[in-house]
Chains A and B, each alone.
Chain A
Amino acid sequence: MKIRREVETQKNELSMTSMIDIVFLLLIFFVMTFKIVEMEGDFSIRMPLAGDGAAADPTDLPLKLRLRADANGSLTSMSLNEINLGTDFDQLRSNVVSLIGTGAPADGEEGPELEIDTDYNLRYAYVIQSITAVSGYKDGDQVVKLIEKIKFSKPRR
């Protein structure tokens, strides 16, 4: 049998410079385009323009949440159906629970409705806080829904 002589391996030194250049360019590109995006979500509101056709059923009136503000736009007081709640959003939530219960509306029913009547200059963050309080609460990882139908009254100028 013929035994082949091992061919001497030739040492090739690769030039790394160009690769490192490209790698650094890629790195710079990704660093520059990197942007930390905050997670966002929505409170959905369905608010068709009030029609002048059928009269509203007086037994189906929405809950009324009144938000009052001082000259700086800070919340001074809240009242739910004329029940004064101060500025405590937990109290607002517990009042909503006592008024409507925690049971989900049956299929076909839309559930209770809430109308938010706010002073014009109230900071928007308070409105979102109040919507959060009346929309539900977190029970561990689960969200217990309260009021899903929310609307705004006419702006107070």
Chain B
Amino acid sequence: MKVKNKKVDLAEGDLTPMIDMTFQLIAFFMVLINFTQTESHEKVVLPSSKLVKPPEAPLEFPIILHVAQDGQIILGGDDYTVDTLPTGLRRELAVIRAEKKSPGDANVIIRAHQDAAAGDVQEIIAVAQEQKLERFALRAKEDRS
């Protein structure tokens, strides 16, 4: 029997357009990437407002409180209720005092869920006031529509 010696034809595709495209994609993602620590939390959907604008400079000594829809408070990754929040706030204030600043210099950033009860936010403010905190920032997302 005659065996045919088949020669495999190695066709080399032109990879240039693909590499071009890939580099453009890398450039796109590199420009848009944001390594800054975002303050978002998956349990919080912020309400929107047409007047808020991103701050030009970050707030000094921020204490970020996430308030979930059910009133659960998240501070520094730990869960609190209105009753246990003073413990967490005292811990944050100890850090601020260690930097020789007073509680009045701290900024309490409240990131409350849009469907959270307004009373829960009021209670949080009242608890923070008892810890001599007086600067509050109610966070909302920018509505550009």
Contacts and interface: CB of A to CB of B under 8 A. Distances in A.
Q: Interface residues of A: mostly helix, strand, loop or mixed?
A: mixed
Contact of A47 (B54, B115, B134, B140): B134
Interface string B86-122: 0000000000000000001000010011111111111
Interface stretch (A79-87, A100-108, A122-130): A122-130
A41 B134 contact: no
Interface size, A (range):
35 or more
B35 to A, nearest CB: 8
Q: Interface residues of B: mostly helix, strand, loop or mixed?
A: mixed
Nearest to B117: A121
B66 to A, nearest CB: 12
Given A38-B142, A43-B52, A45-B137, A125 B47 contact: yes
Contacts, number: 167
A154 interface: yes
A136 B54 CA distance: 16
A40 to B, nearest CB: 5
A41 B49 contact: yes
Given A39-B141, A40-B142, A128-B138, A119 B118 contact: yes
B22 A27 contact: yes
B118 A123 contact: yes
Interface of B: 15, 19, 22-23, 25-26, 29-30, 32-34, 38-40, 46-55, 59, 67, 104, 109, 112-123, 125-126, 129-130, 132, 134-142, 144
Q: Ordered nearest first, which 10 A-B pairs have the shortest CB separation?
A: A41-B52, A120-B119, A30-B29, A42-B137, A155-B122, A125-B47, A48-B134, A125-B114, A39-B142, A128-B47
